[in-house]
Amino acid sequence: MRIRASHSVNLLAVAALFAACLGAVSGCGSEKEADSRADVTTDRARQVAAAWDGSTAAAAWRAGYYPMGETVQLPRGGLRSQADKQAYEDQSLVLRGKLPVTWPKDGRVTWARSGSVTRSLVGADESYKSLAGAGVNGKPHLTVTGAKLGEMSVATSRGPATVPAWLFTLVGYASPLKQAAAVPSKLPRPPIRPARDIPGYPINRLVRIAADGGSVTVVALHGVCDDGPEVDVLETRGSVVLSASVKYRKDGGDCTKQARTQQVTVKLERPVGDRVLLDAPTGRPVPYKGPHGPSATWS
C-alpha cells in the first residue's frame, strides 16, 4: 500500500473511534496486544464478508446504480486558467440565461456488459444549484448560459456506465460542463450490524478505484502520536472488506486529542469488478465522496 498526503481534522467528531487508544497509549504498543487486535479485526472482516456474500443486499447492490467516481465532468481539456479552477472549487457560478423547465422524469443508466436500469432524473435547475454556491461576492466566477440533456460516463459499482446528464454551456468554452442527472439507487440495508467494540476506525471515504480495478484509494483516520494509518484487505468472491487501523509508536508518550486524515492506496489480488467494497467496523459499503460532498446515496 502507498501513503499519500494528510490533513488535520478536529478529533471531537471522531473521538469515539479513538477511545480504545487515545488517552490510553501505554498499552497500545505491545506486540501481544497488537496481535490480539489483528485477530479481532480479521474475525470481524470475515463476518462482514460472510454476511454480505450471497445476500439480498449484495444482489440489490449489483442491480443498482451507485456512483463510485466523480459525477461532474469538466469541459474537454479541463479549465484553462487558475481563476476558473478556483471558481469551480469555490462553486462560484453565475447563470446568465435560462435553464430547461421540462425534462423526462426518468432515464436509462446503461452498462456495456450488464444491462441497464431506469432512474429518476433531477431537473436542470436542481443540478445547477448543486454546482453553484450561495453567491460570488465579487470573486472570479464561471458563467453558465444554458443547458441541455445529454449523457456522460460515470464510474459505478458495476463498472463504467453511460448516464443521463445535464450539459451546461460555459462562456469561453467550446465543450460543456457535465453533471450526472440520474438519481443514485438507495443503499441496501446491511445484513450485519455495526461493531463498536473492536479496534479500528471506519474508512472515511473512497477517493478512487484504479482504472484497471487493481487498487483502491481511501481516506483513513489516525492520531498525531502514531506512525500513520494502515488498511488491511480481505477479498472474497463477492466482496472486498477493508479494515483500517493505526501503527503505534513503541516509545508511547502522551497523546493529544487531534486526528489526521490520510490517503492510503490498497492493492488487490484481482480487480474490484462488481464486488462490493465494504468497511469492516460499520459493515456498510465504503462511501464515495466527491469534491462537493457525497451523492444522494451516501448523504
Sort residue 20 into left (φ over 0), alpha (ψ -120 to 50) or beta: alpha
Three-class SS state of 6: strand
- Rounded-to-integer distance, Cα 67 and Cα 182, Å: 10
pLDDT at 64: 94
pLDDT (tens, 9 = 90+) of the chain, 299 residues, equals 333 333 333 333 343 444 444 333 333 445 555 566 778 889 999 999 999 999 999 999 999 999 998 999 999 999 999 999 999 998 999 999 999 999 999 999 999 988 999 999 999 999 999 999 776 677 789 999 999 999 999 999 988 999 999 999 999 999 999 999 999 999 999 999 999 888 778 888 898 899 899 999 998 876 666 666 789 999 999 999 999 887 665 555 555 556 677 889 999 999 998 899 999 999 999 988 876 666 666 65
Q: What is the pLDDT of residue 293?
A: 63
- What was the pLDDT predicted at 292? 62
Long-range interactions of 26-35: CB distance < 8 A, separation 24+: 26/252, 28/248, 28/252, 29/248, 29/249, 29/250, 29/251, 29/252, 34/248
Residue 171 to residue 96: CA distance in whole angstroms:
9
pTM for the predicted model, two decimal places: 0.79
What is the C-alpha to C-alpha distance for residues 221 and 6, in angstroms, rounded to an integer?
Answer: 9
Question: Quick one: pLDDT at residue 18?
Answer: 42
- State the pLDDT at residue 20: 40
Single out the residue of 51, 53, 131 nearest to residue 93, CA to CA: 131
> Hey, what's the cell of 63?
442491480
Q: Is the backbone of residue 89 left (phi > 0), alpha (psi -120 to 50) or beta? A: alpha
- Burial (CB < 10 A; 0-12, 13-18, 19+), residue 52, is buried
Q: Give the pLDDT of residue 225.
A: 63
The DSSP code for 132 is S
In the block, cell 498525531 appears at 224
Q: Strand, coil or helix: what is 221? A: strand
Asked if 127 contacts 79 with a C-beta cutoff of 8 angstroms, the reply is no
Residues ≥6 apart with Cβ < 8 Å to 225 = 25, 249, 253, 254, 255, 256
User: Can you give the pLDDT at residue 24?
Assistant: 35
